[in-house]
Structures are given as C-alpha cells and as structure tokens.
Amino acid sequence: MNPSEQLSAAEKTQWLAEEVQPLERPLRAYLGRSLPSQADVDDLVQDTYVRLLKAKEKGSIRHAKGLFFAIARNAVRDFLRQRNNADIVPITEDAAIPVLSDGGNLVELVCRREELALLTDAINSLPERCREVILLRKIKGLSQREIAELLGIAEHTVESLVTKGVRRCADYLRTRSDRQQSSHASGT
C-alpha cells in the first residue's frame, strides 16, 4: 500500500467504531464458550484487535466480520495449543508425592503413573489434528459443536476424528500390552 492509500488515524477510528466494535459482544460470547477465564477472553479480544489492525494496515478489508472471527478462531487455537503444551508435565518429574505421606498404596500409585504415561504416549502418537480434537473433547470436555466452532471444521469431522483417535489409542494400548505380555512370557 502506498502512502496515499494509507488510512488516517481518524479513518481507522471511524472504521473500528462502525464495522468492528459492534462485533465485540458476539466475539466475547464466542470466546467465553471456548476459554476458561474472563482474563483469557479479555486477552484474546485485544489480540484479535491487534491482528485485525495489522491486517488493515496491509490493505483493504472487504468483510470485517468474517476476518475478525477468523482471526479470533486462530488466536484461540494458538492459545489452546500453547496451553496444552505448557500443561504437559513429564511423568519422570521428581515432584513430591502427597499420596505417600497420606499412607497411600505405592503399588497403586506406580501403576497409575505407568498407565498415565502409556496413555500420554498413545495420544502423542496421533496425527496433529486428531490429537488436538481428542484433547479438546476428552481432556478439556468441550462438546463436538464447541470444537467444530473453535477449529472451524464441521461437527461430523469432529465426530470422525474423535472416533478415529479413540480407536487408534485403543490399538496403540493393545499393541503395547501384547508386546509386554510376550516379553514377560519369553522371560525378557
């Protein structure tokens, strides 16, 4: 965009007031269904405005509403991806184990940790989109409709990915179990 095509501050303000700000309430409602806290909603609203203004500086925007919600959907996806990566704690961490101090059963604790590690491996073996849908559906507890809206895909696609992911995880766990049983049977 050459300097003669750039918008003045007054024109940007007018454009924001007329075309974008009326969309903020529906945007907040959408984000409120997708995010865990109001602070996260506030952060993503600001992030969406920043991304939209950067896009406006690069050129003309024909459909502000569509772009605004597409930017928000991508911002939510980025946020959830970062959060999912940050929430993963390696099973090998040497954290204090309060169950032991309460007289808990050590064998049961070790078995749970091994099962959790195995399930984590199974989920991590899934293709990226399938893993993302499984985490949102089974771990975060979002509905198929919420996931479809969040990721911008059809509900039947979400259903298909959940089915495929659960089946692949079950196959992964069955294969690992069979391998362990055969190695124990052979004495290794």
pLDDT along the chain (188 residues), means of 10: 58 84 87 81 87 83 85 83 60 49 64 82 89 87 88 92 91 82 67
Instruction: Say yes or no: do domains 3-86 and 93-185 share a fold.
Output: no
- What b/e sequence results for 74-96 when a residue is b if at least 16 CB atoms lie within 10 Å of its CB, and e otherwise? ebbeebbeeeeeeeeeeeeeeee
Nearest one of 120, 123, 122, 130 to 159, comparing CA atoms: 130
Contacts of 51 (CB under 8 A, 6+ apart): 71, 74, 75
Residue 160's pLDDT is 93
Residue 85's pLDDT is 60
When the candidates are 1.10.1740, 1.10.3470, 3.40.30, 1.10.10, the CATH number that belongs to 3-86 is 1.10.1740
User: Distance between CA 188 and CA 185 in Å, rounded?
Assistant: 8
Domain map of the chain by residue range?
3-86, 93-185
What tokens does 182 get?
């055969």
User: Distance between CA 162 and CA 129 in Å, rounded?
Assistant: 10
Residue 182's pLDDT is 72
User: Distance between CA 28 and CA 41 in Å, rounded?
Assistant: 7
Residue 157's pLDDT is 93
User: Distance between CA 148 and CA 72 in Å, rounded?
Assistant: 14
Residue 161's pLDDT is 93
Token look-up 């362990």 returns 180
Q: CATH class for domain 93-185?
A: mainly alpha
